[in-house]
């Protein structure tokens, strides 16, 4: 969640931008403090966008530029997996252990990095506890549909014995 991202950004003085899935964007530039402020972010976006070549002079549309900078990737979307409140931390810890041989971040739950045989990044898997519902929030994103399906197979092998992730596998 965004409260975790604020702490991580504050601990990384060279990091000028961070974002998380619910839309919180944190900027730490021009003496700005690094917290999420939609008004400041909107003003910076307008400023940056105003520097581009106008559309009527052959410049890109806003949506085409966003697609170029961050092309849509295959994803499961956010999946809510039922989990009793008292079990959440233990289940996330078990999932973390199940991926102990892979690079991961435990800033907010566990986010596992997937690489191919050549060590190139191909996607990630996130499992974290919800602070508002009796669920674990899970999602996957990959560079290709083939990689996403391979990641689901890996999750089925490693996590299905810990908690029922059929909703994630079906996504």
The structure tokens listed for 139 are 């999602």
Nearest to 3 by CA among 90, 132, 134: 132
For residues 116-121, average pLDDT: 94
Kindly tell me if the per-residue pLDDT of 162 is higher than 90: yes
The per-residue pLDDT for range 85-100, each reduced to its tens digit, is 999 999 999 999 999 9
Which SS3 state, helix, strand or coil, does residue 122 take? Answer: strand
Task: Please report the domains of the chain, with CATH numbers, ordered by start residue.
Answer: 2-69 (3.40.120.10), 79-170 (3.30.310.50)
pLDDT (tens digit, 9 = 90+) per residue, 57-88? 888 887 887 777 777 899 999 999 999 999 99
pLDDT at 1: 58
pLDDT of 2 strictly over 70: no
pLDDT at site 141: 97
Would you state the torsion angle of the CA atoms of residues 19, 24, 30, 33, taken in this order, to the nearest 10 degrees?
A: -110
Within 10 angstroms of residue 159's Cβ, the number of other Cβ atoms is 22
| Residues 20 and 77 sit within 8 Å (Cβ to Cβ) | no
DSSP 8-class letter at 31: T
- Tokens 């990689």 locate to 147
Q: Which of 22-31, 41-50, 67-76, 157-166 has the lowest mean pLDDT?
A: 22-31
The rounded percent of the chain whose pLDDT value lies above 90 is 57
Dig out the tokens for 22 from the structure.
């619910």
What 8-state DSSP symbol labels residue 21?
A: T
């Amino acid at each position: 969640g965004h409260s975790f991202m604020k702490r991580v950004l504050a601990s990384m003085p060279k990091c000028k931008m961070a974002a998380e899935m619910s839309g919180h964007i944190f900027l730490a530039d021009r003496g700005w403090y690094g917290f999420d402020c939609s008004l400041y972010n909107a003003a910076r976006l307008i400023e940056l966008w105003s520097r581009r070549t106008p559309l009527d002079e052959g410049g890109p549309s806003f949506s085409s530029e966003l697609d170029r900078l961050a092309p849509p990737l295959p994803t499961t979307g956010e999946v809510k997996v039922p989990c009793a409140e008292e079990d959440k931390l233990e289940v996330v810890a078990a999932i973390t252990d199940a991926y102990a041989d892979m690079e991961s971040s435990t800033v907010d739950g566990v986010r596992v990095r997937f690489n191919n045989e050549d060590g190139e990044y191909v996607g990630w898997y996130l499992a974290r506890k919800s602070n508002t519902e009796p669920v674990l929030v899970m999602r996957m994103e990959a560079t290709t549909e083939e990689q996403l399906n391979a990641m689901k197979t890996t999750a089925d092998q490693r996590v299905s014995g810990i908690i029922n992730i059929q909703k994630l596998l079906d996504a």
